[in-house]
């Protein structure tokens, strides 16, 4: 069983493989984000909670990922799991993934290795290696972007579906999007959703298709986000007010801004482009 920083590296690699943010991981385990940072940096985690972590990531990594052998039992996990402390700076997500790929990634395809590394570098907010990875398209650099049957309300809110269905795909050129000023790390982070209502007019009109980046799951600065709050899904401007509060702003002057708590706001994506060619 891995312990200390090796365990922390395994948790970080599993988190990236599953595609969840540290904030999402903290929310799912009902702990504070600094606790998750301690798991990753030092491998410090309660033994009983470690069992839940292993089960949580069972869909993306197997027992060998944690240094466990076939036939292991939870009772055989050493008592010193989580006791190691390392005050050195935490390695980046990309560094962790490179190490895991070197030691345990021999069975992965080249495409899977590149995707994992690209996701890790995106999680770091940019890495040393800049990957411009496209799935080959029918013409030039065109790729398919999934269009989801999700209506995010620009008004009173929509109750989101549990299992959104893809209606159609849209074929676009990532290079052309960048030339238009759309900033994104990887094209597979981009999805299409539909705005619903008039509260964001004239920026976004009723039923406008929207290009969103689903890798952005936290507030990263003032802008338009798709987020859930009070059990409903919204597309609104968010502005940081401090004291763990956000201003939820409608571009339509007939809809007044509201103050909401950041810890009750769950960002699903950031809106990058209205498909009427209005940059946001």
Q: Which domains does the chain have, with CATH numbers?
A: 4-123 (1.10.260), 143-279 (2.10.109.10)
> pLDDT tier at 249 (50, 70, 90 boundaries)?
very high
Lowest mean pLDDT among 30-34, 63-67, 140-144, 150-154: 150-154
Convert the pLDDT of each residue in 178-208 to its tens digit: 888 899 988 888 888 888 888 999 999 888 8
**pTM for this predicted structure:** 0.47
Residues 6+ apart with CB under 8 A from 4: 42, 43, 83, 84, 86
| pLDDT for res 260 | 96
Convert the pLDDT of each residue in 220-248 to its tens digit: 999 999 998 888 888 999 999 988 999 99
| pLDDT for res 276 | 73
Nearest-angstrom CA–CA distance, 203 and 108: 44
The total number of residues shown for the chain amounts to 280
Cβ(148)–Cβ(167) below 8 Å: yes
Helix, strand, coil % over all residues of the chain, rounded to 5: 30, 25, 45
Residue whose tokens read 């990594």: 61
> pLDDT tier at 266 (50, 70, 90 boundaries)?
very high
Burial environment of residue 277 by CB neighbours within 10 A (0 to 12, 13 to 18, 19 or more): exposed
Residue 161 confidence (pLDDT) above 60: no
């Amino acid at each position: 069983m891995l312990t200390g920083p090796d365990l922390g590296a395994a948790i970080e690699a599993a988190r990236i493989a599953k595609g969840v943010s540290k904030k999402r991981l903290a929310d799912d385990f009902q702990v504070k984000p600094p606790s998750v940072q301690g798991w990753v940096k030092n491998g410090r985690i309660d033994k009983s909670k470690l069992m839940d972590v292993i089960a949580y990531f069972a869909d993306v990594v197997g027992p060998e990922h944690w240094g466990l052998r076939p036939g292991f039992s939870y009772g055989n996990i050493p008592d010193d799991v989580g006791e190691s402390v390392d005050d050195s700076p935490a390695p980046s997500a990309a560094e962790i993934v490179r190490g895991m790929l070197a030691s345990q990634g021999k069975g992965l395809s080249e495409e899977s290795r590149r995707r994992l590394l690209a996701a890790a570098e995106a999680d770091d907010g940019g890495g040393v290696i800049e990957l411009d990875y496209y799935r080959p398209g029918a013409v030039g650099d065109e790729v398919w972007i999934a269009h989801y049957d999700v209506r995010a309300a620009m008004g009173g809110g929509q109750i989101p579906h549990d299992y959104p269905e893809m209606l159609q795909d849209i074929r676009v050129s990532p290079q052309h999007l960048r030339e238009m000023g759309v900033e994104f790390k990887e094209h597979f982070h981009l999805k299409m959703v539909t705005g619903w209502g008039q509260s964001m007019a004239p920026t976004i009109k009723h039923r406008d298709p929207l290009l969103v980046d689903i890798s952005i799951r936290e507030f990263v600065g003032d802008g338009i986000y798709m987020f859930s709050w009070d059990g409903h899904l919204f597309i609104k401007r968010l502005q940081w007010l401090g004291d763990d509060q956000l201003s939820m702003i409608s571009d339509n002057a007939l809809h007044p801004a509201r103050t909401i708590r950041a810890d009750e706001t769950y960002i699903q994506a950031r809106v990058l482009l209205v498909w009427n060619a209005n940059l946001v």
